[in-house]
Amino acid sequence: MANSTRQFGHIDGIQPGATFKDYSSMNAAGIHRQSQSGISGSGLEGADSIVVSGGYEDDQDLGDEIVYTGQGGRDSSGKQIADQELVRGNLALVKSQLEGLPVRVIRGAHKGNPFAPKSGYRYDGLYVVDSHWHEEGKSGFKIWRFRLVKLIDNTSKVASQSADDGDLGGSGNTTPTRKASQIQRIVRDTKIAKSLKKYYSYKCQVCGICLMAAGVPYAEAAHIKPLGAPHNGPDTIDNILCLCPNHHVMFDFGSFSINDDLSLIGIEGKLYVGDKHAINRDYLIFHRAFFYTKNN
């Protein structure tokens, strides 16, 4: 792996669609700086690129969306023989999610994948890590999963830029263009979610706070079992919580979860639930099993 600064975003001169024979040529081009690992990155900086090769039995490639399995716990034949841990490449992808960093996605040839190239490897552009969780893989061992969503070029505003060096001495960009910013977090909302927030008068069900903004209350809706592939949680009242932004971030990242008796796990306290808001315990079970991470 090259020792130069980690480069996030597009690599100059390499357009999406560019093909490569093998890892060695990708490494030389700087598009994926690993000799064999599928994830290039570190927990401190984030992941700059991944290779989707269908090597993991649990990967799901939907084109613009990818459910990517983390690394580790496999023997030399590729068979899962131990739990995966949230370290190295896996932690790098979590960091990318938290910072909204763009990840270069490269697809390797794989017979079963209609989105894969016929042979070799193809650079397929930039994705962002939308969410991550853990589950029991087909092998019975714990695996980490990452949902990546393709960035649309017109709106991604992602410039090719090197990793943050943490140096406050830099003057930054005094004449910023809109291209220089990245999206760190997107909060989505649905009609039924709006009605729940109204029901709770925009008070957080965890801490009771109601943020006021220009006299208008603000809260966010959190789906307990997430919407969209692969979880396909429903957009129904029994699957939604009304949370302040801080507790929304913590809940989505599994820093806390909720017992069936509504006591909280990971942080102190109990979820406040109004008489008219019936929460489906199945979704709480799901969140505890897939999203809650101990000791964080």
Q: Which is nearest to 52 in space by CA: 150, 139, 133?
A: 150
Q: Least distance from C-beta 146 to a second copy, angstroms?
A: 11
Cβ of 173: how many Cβ atoms within 10 Å? 10
Binding residue (CB under 8 A) for a second copy from 29, 62, 192, 264: 192
For the CB of residue 221, give the shortest distance to a second copy in the complex, in Å: 8
Span 144-163, contacts to a second copy by CB under 8 A:
152, 154-155, 157, 161
Q: Which residue has the tokens 């709770």?
A: 200
Helix (H, G, I), strand (E, B) or coil at 15: coil
Angle at 235 between CA 230 and CA 239, to 5 degrees: 90
Q: Which of residues 7-36 bind a second copy (CB under 8 A)?
A: none
Q: Provide, rounded to whole angstroms, the least separation between the CB of residue 114 and a second copy.
A: 20
SS3 211: strand
Phi-psi region of 61 (alpha: psi -120 to 50; beta: other; left: phi over 0): beta
Cross-strand pairs, 161: 8
Cβ–Cβ under 8 Å, residues 271 and 264:
yes
- The answer to the question of residue 120 lying near a second copy (CB under 8 A) is no
Query: Is 71 one of the binding residues for a second copy (CB under 8 A)?
Result: no
Nearer residue to a second copy within complex by CB, 112 or 166: 166
* 237: DSSP letter: G
Q: Which of 48, 61, 124, 220 binds a second copy (CB under 8 A)?
A: 220
Instruction: Assign 89 to helix, strand or coil.
Output: helix
Answer whether 148's CB lies under 8 Å from 124's CB. no
Q: Which residues in the 247-286 window bind a second copy by CB under 8 A? A: 248-250, 252-255, 276-277
- 261-295 CB burial, b ≥16 within 10 A, e <16: eeebebeeeebbeeeebebbeebbbbbbebbbbee
Residue numbers 96-115 binding a second copy by CB under 8 A: 98-100
Q: Which is nearer to a second copy, 53 or 280 (CB)?
A: 280
Residue 60 token pair: 């799901």
Nearer to a second copy, 40 or 156 (CB): 156
Q: Using CB under 8 A, which of the segments 74-82, 89-97, 117-125, 280-288 binds a second copy?
A: 89-97
Can residue 4 be called a binding residue for a second copy (CB under 8 A)? Answer: no
When asked if residue 43 is in the footprint of a second copy (CB under 8 A), the reply is yes
CB of 122 or CB of 223, closer to a second copy: 223
Cβ nearer to a second copy, comparing 140 with 215: 215
Least Cβ distance, residue 24 to a second copy (angstroms): 30
Q: Is 209 in the site for a second copy (CB under 8 A)?
A: yes
Least distance (Å) between residue 104 CB and a second copy: 17
Taking the CA atoms of 41, 47, 48 and 51 in sequence, report the sign of the dihedral they define. positive
- The size of the interface with a second copy (CB under 8 A), counted in residues, is 75
